[in-house]
Structure 1
C-alpha cells in the first residue's frame, strides 16, 4: 500500500472522528456483549450464552475477531467485558468501540489499493490516477452507506467489505486460489456473503478446473489447490466447534425471525406485504374478512407474521425464487466466463438475494454496492447505474438514524459523498447523464423525505410504522428498477 493510500486512510479516519458522539444503535451493545462473551467464557460456551438477548450469531472468525478486540478492550474499561443482561455504556466503551471500527478500516484501504492497481492495469491509462483514487475513496473509504451503518449506527462492515474486495479483485485478476481463500475467510466472518457463493463456485469451477491441459476434463492440480485452500480455511474456523455445529447453525440461520425485518428492506417482499395489507383492508370494508386492529405485518416486531389474504412465504419458497432468478446468470457465466461477467454476476447474485431473500436486512444493500462499484470503470452506463443505486440505496438506510440529532447528519453524509462522486464521474465520463425517470425519482426523494420525516410524524404521530412503510415502498421501486437495468446488461 503506497503512501497515497495511507494518507487517504488517515484523512478519512479523521473525518470519521466527528461521528464519534452520534447516535449508536442496539448493535453497539450487541458487539459489546460479544466482547464480554468471548473474553469471559471458554469457546465451547460462546454460542450457548444467552444472558443478554444479543446472543453471538456470527461465524467463528468474527467471534475470534471479537476475542482479539477484547484483549485490548480491558485496558480502556474492564467493565465492558462483563456479561450482563442489561446494556453497559460509558465514554471509555464508546472510545474503544468507535476506534476499533476506524482501525479495522485499514483492511478496506489496502483492498482499495489493490483495486486501484487492477483498474490501472485493465484500463491502460484510460483514467487518470487522481480520478480513480477519488472514485475508490467515494465508493469505499467514504462510502455514505458505510459511514451511516458503521460509524453512526455501529457495525464492522468496512473491513468485511475489504476482504470481499480482495476476493473479487483476485478472482478477476486470475488469482483464483487467493480469491477462493479470501472468500472462504469472508464467509467465516459473516455468512451474509453466501449470497455470492454460487457465482464464485461456478466461475472458479469453470476457469480454474475446466480448461486446457486437463485430465478427463478436470485440472486435478487446480482442484487440489483450490479445494485444499477452502478446506483449510473452514477447518480452521469450524474445527474447534465441531461438537457444536447444530447450535452454531441455529444461531446463524434463525428462520423464526420471519420473512421481513422490523423495518422492511426495500425489496420484492415490501410490495408483497403492501398488497396483502391493501387487499385485507378492501375485504374488511366489504365484510368478507373480519375487522382486525393493526395488520400483523405492521407490528414493527421481528417475528413470524401470517398474511391475511396472500399465501404465507417460507424460507424454502424464498430460496427457490432466488435460485430460479439467479440460474440464467449462472448458466451464462459458465458458458462465457470472463472477469467482467464475473463482477456483474457477483453483483446480480447479491442483488437477487436482496430482492427475494428471507429476512433480508436493509443494510444488505452494502453487499451489492461493493462489487457494483468495480463496474464503474468498465463503461459510462454502469457508472450511471451505480451512482443512481448508491444514492437511493443509501437513502433507504435513513430510518436507521431516527433520532432528531441525526436529522442533518444523514442528509449531509448523503449529499456530501454523492456530490463528490458525481463531480468525479462527470470528469471521467463527460456524457454521463441520468434519464428522465431517474431524475424524477431522485427529485421525488425530497418530497418523500419531507413526508416521512416531518409531515407524517407531526400530523399522525400515533402511526409510527407509517413513515417506515413509506420508506420501504418508495425505495423498493428504485431498487427494483436498478435490478432490472443490471439484469438486462448481463
Structure 2
C-alpha cells in the first residue's frame, strides 16, 4: 500500500482487519460455556452488568459474594453498568437480576462479544496508534505501521480477551496512554491515565513501582523548584483521581467505613498463595517444596511481598538514581521538559511486572499479559537480528503456551494454533530455523519441548496419581524463560542507564555511546519524541550519537539513523 500511494489507508485498514480477526476468534467458545453451576469468566462479567444496573452502589461489593461477587475496582463496575444499561435496553432478559444466571442465548452472547470489541476499539487501539507516533517518532512511516501490526495482533491478549473473554485491553490501553503522555511531556495526563488503569483492574499495580519511580526521577531531574512543583501537582491529581473513582464509598456519599467493601474485595489475601497452575516461582517450586504444607498463610504473604519488592528494586533504583545524577538539568516548563530516564521506562515496566508475576500473591496465568505489554512494545521497534526481537518473540510464544491449560479448558485449541502461526509469520519469526547462536539452540529446545508436551498430552492419559501432570510440566518448562526474561530486563536497564550516563557523573549534556549490543532508544526532546527501539542492536560497527540538550524545546538534533 505504501508503494501504490495508499499510505494514509494503512492504519484504518490494519485496524479494520484486526477487528474482523478478533470477531472471528469470538466465534468460538469461551470461559465456562455450558458448565454450570458457576460457568466462568464470561458469566462473571455478564453478572456484574446485571447486579450494577439493579442494585444500589452500596450493595455492589456485598451482593451474593459466593456467586461471582464483584472483585474488581470501581471503573470496571462503572463500565459494567454502562454495558448493562445498553444491553437491557435491547433485551431486559439478558440482565434480569438472579433470573438470568448462566444465560447463553445467541443474542446475549453476541452482545457480550460486541461489548469487548467496543471497549478494545475505543481505548486500546487508539493507545497503540498514539504509541507508534510517539515512541517510534524517529522511525519511517512504514516501520511505524509494521509496529502497529505487531501490537494489534498480539496473540496472548487476543486469545484472553476475545476467546477466553475478559476486558484486559481496557487496563492495558490506559497504561499505554500513560506512557504516551509521559513521552509528550504531559505527566499529569499520564498520571490520570494510570489511575484509570488501576481503577479498572488492580493488576495494573504490577506497573506502579516503575511508573512511580519514573515520575519521581522526573521531579529530581527538574531540580528543586520545578521538581517540587511537579511532585505536588502529581500528588494532587493522583489523589483527586482516586477520590473521584471511589467517591460513592466515601463521605459525604457513604460512611468512611464503607471504603472497606471494595478494598477487601479487590485485594483477596484470604484466598491463599495461588489457586491454579501458573508459570511462576511459587507454582514451579511448590512441586518440590510444598509451601502451603509447612508455611503459614501470613508468612507466605510476607515472603511473597519481600521477594516481589526485591525483584522490582533494581528498576526503581535505576530510575531514581538516574534522575538524581542528572538533577537540575531540566529547564523550561516543568511539565513538558523530557527526562532522560524516560528511555529506561519500558525496561523498568518489564522488570516490575515480571517480578510481580513471578513472586507475588494470587497470580493468575492471564496476568502474564502485563509483562508482555512492555516487552512487545520493545519488540515492535526492534530489528530481526537484535536480541530484543529474539527474546520478545520467544517469550510471547512461551507466554501463549503457558496459558494452554486454560485455553484447552475453554475449547480454544484451534484459535491457539492459528494465532501462534499467524503472529510468528507476521513478525517473520521461524521458531524452528537452523540455530546460529547459543540463544537459538535454547529457543529450539524450548519450542521442541512444547511440541513434545502437546503430543504427549494428545496421545497419553496421565496417571490417576498425577492428574495435573501436563499442566505441571508446562509450568516447569515456561517458568525458567520468564525468570531469565526478568534478569534480562534488569541487565538491559543497567546497560541503557550506562549508555545515557545514568551511572556516571553529573553532566550538563549527555554524550551517549551505544554499542552493537544496545537496543535502547535514542532519546531526544522538543517537538520530536523518542523512538522506542531506535538502533535496535544490529550487528554493525559502533557509532557515536550526537549530544542532545534535554532542555531544548526546538526540533530534534540530527542523529545518525538506521531506519529500515
TM bracket (short chain): 0.7 to 0.9
List structure 1 runs of 4+ shifted beyond 6 angstroms: 309-312
Alignment-derived partner of residue 439 in structure 1: 444
- Once the two structures are superposed, the pairs formed by residues 233-244 of structure 1 within 5 Å of their partners are 233-242=241-250, 243=255, 244=258
* Pairwise CA distance, 1:19: 2.4
Q: Which residue of 1 aligns with 2:234?
A: 226
Change (3 A) 1:134 1:149: same
Q: Tell me, yes or no, if the aligned pair for 1:172 and 1:343 is still in contact at 8 Å.
A: no
- TM-superposed deviation, 1:447: 0.6
Greater alpha carbon shift after TM alignment, 48-57 vs 251-260: 48-57
Which of 275, 286, 310 pairs up with 1:273? 286
Gapped regions of structure 1 (runs ≥ 5): 278-304, 426-430
In structure 2, the residue matched to 1:102 is: 117
Taking a change above 3 Å as real, the CA distance of residues 313 and 91 of structure 1, as seen in their structure-2 partners, is: farther
Pick from 437, 453, 465 the counterpart of residue 448 of structure 1. 453
238, 244, 249: which one pairs with 2:263? 249
Q: Decide which of 98, 101, 110 is 1:84's aligned counterpart.
A: 98
Partner secondary structure for residue 306 of structure 1: helix
- Look up the match of 1:483: 486
Distance in 1 (CA, whole Å) between partners of 2:9 and 2:53 is 36
What TM-score do the two structures reach when normalised by structure 1? 0.85
Tell me if 1:314 matches 2:324: no
Deviation at residue 10 of structure 1 after TM alignment: 1.8
1:281 maps to what in 2? none
* C-alpha distance 375-20 of structure 1, shift in aligned 2 (>3 A): closer
Which secondary structure state, in structure 1, belongs to the residue aligned with residue 28 of structure 2? coil
Matches of 1:317 and 1:28, distance apart in 2: 33
- Report if aligned partners of 1:35, 1:69 keep a CA contact under 8 Å in 2: yes
Q: Which has the higher helix share?
A: 1
The match for 2:375 among 356, 372, 375 is 372
RMSD: 2.5
Matched residue, 2:141: 129
Q: Which residue of 1 aligns with 2:23?
A: 17
Separation of aligned partners in 2, 1:258 and 1:230: 31
Counterpart in 2 of 1:210? 220
Shift in CA distance, 51/320, structure 1 to aligned 2, threshold 3 Å: closer
Aligned pairs (5 A) from 1:455-474: 455-456=459-460, 458=461, 460=463, 463-474=466-477
Deviations, residues 58-78 of structure 1 (Å, cap 9, x unaligned):
111110011111121113331
Matched residue of 2:224: which SS? coil
Q: Does 1:323 align with 2:333?
A: no
Provide the C-alpha distance between the structure 2 equivalents of 1:228 and 1:4, rounded to a whole number of angstroms. Answer: 41
Aligned twin of 2:345: 342
1:137-152 to structure 2, matched below 5 A, reads 137-139=149-151, 141-152=152-163
Query: Which string of whole-angstrom CA distances, capped at 9 and with x for unpartnered residues, describes residues 257-295 of structure 1?
Result: 111122x21011122201125xxxxxxxxxxxxxxxxxx
Cα displacement (A) at 1:20: 2.8
Structure 1 residues 151 and 202, CA gap change in structure 2 (3 angstroms): same
Gaps of 5+ in 2: 1-7, 32-39, 324-340, 494-564
The one-character-per-residue Cα deviations of 1:439-459 (angstroms, maximum 9, x if unpaired) are 2212221112212x3133x35
Residue deviations 1:149-170, cap 9 Å, x none? 0111100012221111111222
Secondary structure of 1:53 counterpart: coil
Does the 8 Å contact 2:164/2:410 carry over to 1?
Answer: no
Distance change (3 Å), C-alpha of 1:206 and 1:312:
closer
What residue number does 1:111 align with?
Answer: 127
Q: CA deviation at 1:423?
A: 5.1
Shift of 1:334: 0.8
CA distance in 2, matches of 1:177, 1:51: 36
Task: Provide the rounded CA distance (Å) in 2 between the counterparts of 1:222 and 1:101.
Answer: 36
Mapping for residues 392-407 of structure 1, pairs under 5 Å: 392-403=398-409, 405-407=411-413
Q: In structure 1, what is the Cα distance between the partners aligned to 2:28 and 2:438?
A: 35
